[in-house]
Amino acid sequence: SLGIDVASIDDEASMKTLEAWDSMTHMSIILSLEQAFGLSIPPELMLEATSLKAIQHTLESLQDGA
């Protein structure tokens, strides 16, 4: 979705550090995650999931049922 080499993405990757990660790309990432993990990500969590760490935390909390 970002059109960049996966190897260039580190644990600190976020909308602030990756120029290609804009609002449209963010929605594409969220939709891809929902499809891949069979989850529905609530809008408030979509807005918070703006970094790799935040996405990981969101997915873990949704998979744990929290």
Give the C-alpha separation, 51 to 65, whole Å.
21
pTM of the model: 0.83
pLDDT in tens, 5-60: 888 788 899 999 998 899 999 999 999 999 999 999 999 999 999 999 999 999 99
* Angle (nearest 5°) at CA 23 between 17 and 48: 75
Q: Backbone phi, then psi, for 14, in 5-degree steps?
A: -160, 175
What pLDDT is stored for residue 4 in this prediction? 81
Which uninterrupted H or E stretch holds 34? helix 23-37
CA neighbor of 29 nearest in space, from 8, 12, 54, 10: 54
